[in-house]
Amino acid sequence: MNRTKKTLIILISILTISIIIPLNAFANPPTTLSVWHDIVSNNGGFYPTRTITYGQQKLNTNTNFHFNAANATAANTWSGNLNLVLNSTLVYNSANIRIQGGTRNELISAGWTGLPNNILGLCSWGQATATTTIIRNGVTHIIYTFSLTNGNRIAILDSNSTLRVQYVAAHEMGHALGFMGHSATGLMFATAPQNFPAQAIPTSNEAAHIRQFYARVP
């Protein structure tokens, strides 16, 4: 295996927490987590509802950039694993998850910053409120509640590769739904695979990682 030929492309998530306010609104905070599938000693989050909307803005007319289909597939993948309902909405500005797709320049024009050349996608948490703290194996994790009105945002870079777009959409939606770090392996690994799989699905541990946060939602 010639390792120098392997081009690694980085998927980066950024944290833009605008307001952090302690909140004790939940009657049933999680006490024990069985899985923490995150190598970054990072935090987790969730929307305080089981029905989540996502809106889409394709910033160009590239007919080979199958942006909407990828987002729909990603939504199906995660909703099935997390027992959530992810509904597409046409009202982009009030969607819980707001996904934009385009070239790097188009995304920059739309207000995205921090888009290095090798990036495939990006997730930005619009507003995350610290809800509880969990200490696991000596590491303190903060579990955030996402704002339903100040939606989390995703950027997906334009590509003619359907499998690539599908993979990036699934990865970034994992971030938007609550995976606030990266896995050592799996869909939420920070680096895209050399060959994109036909199906971009989280591992059972990755799904379990987020499912625990949503366990507190009725």
CA atoms within 13 A on the CB side of 51: 2
Task: State in Å, rounded, how far the first CA of the chain is from the last one.
Answer: 50
Say whether residue 11 binds Zn ion (CB under 5 A). Answer: yes
CA distance 34 to 49: 22
Stretch that binds Zn ion, among 8-16, 84-92, 96-104, 200-208 (CB under 5 A): 8-16
Binding segment (CB under 5 A) for Zn ion, from list 9-17, 26-34, 86-94, 201-209: 9-17
- Looking from the CA of 55 toward its CB, the CA atoms found within 13 Å total 17
Q: What is the DSSP string of 7-75?
A: --EE---B------------SS-----S----TT---EEE-SSSEEEEEEEE-S--TT--HHHHHHHHH
Site string for Zn ion, 148-187 (x = CB under 5 A): ----------------------------------------
Q: Smallest distance, Å, CB 182 to Zn ion? A: 6
Whose Cβ is closer to Zn ion: residue 13's or residue 77's? 13
User: In angstroms, what CA-CA distances link 57 with 100, 117, 158, 166?
Assistant: 5, 21, 12, 16
Instruction: CB nearer to Zn ion: give 84 or 188.
Output: 188
- Specify the residue, 13 or 159, whose C-beta has the smaller distance to Zn ion: 13
Name the minimum Å distance from CB 23 to Zn ion: 26
Q: Which of 3, 6, 7, 13 binds Zn ion (CB under 5 A)?
A: 13
Rounded to whole angstroms, how far apart are CA atoms 80 and 131?
25
Q: Angle, to 10 degrees, between the axis of helix 162-177 and the axis of helix 67-82?
A: 40
Q: Judged by CB under 5 A, does residue 52 bind Zn ion?
A: no
Report the nearest approach of Zn ion to the CB of residue 129 (Å).
22
| Of residues 132 and 168, the one with the C-beta less far from Zn ion | 168
Judged by CB under 5 A, the number of residues near Zn ion is 2
Report in angstroms how near the CB of residue 11 gets to Zn ion at its nearest. 4
Site residues for Zn ion per CB under 5 A = 11, 13
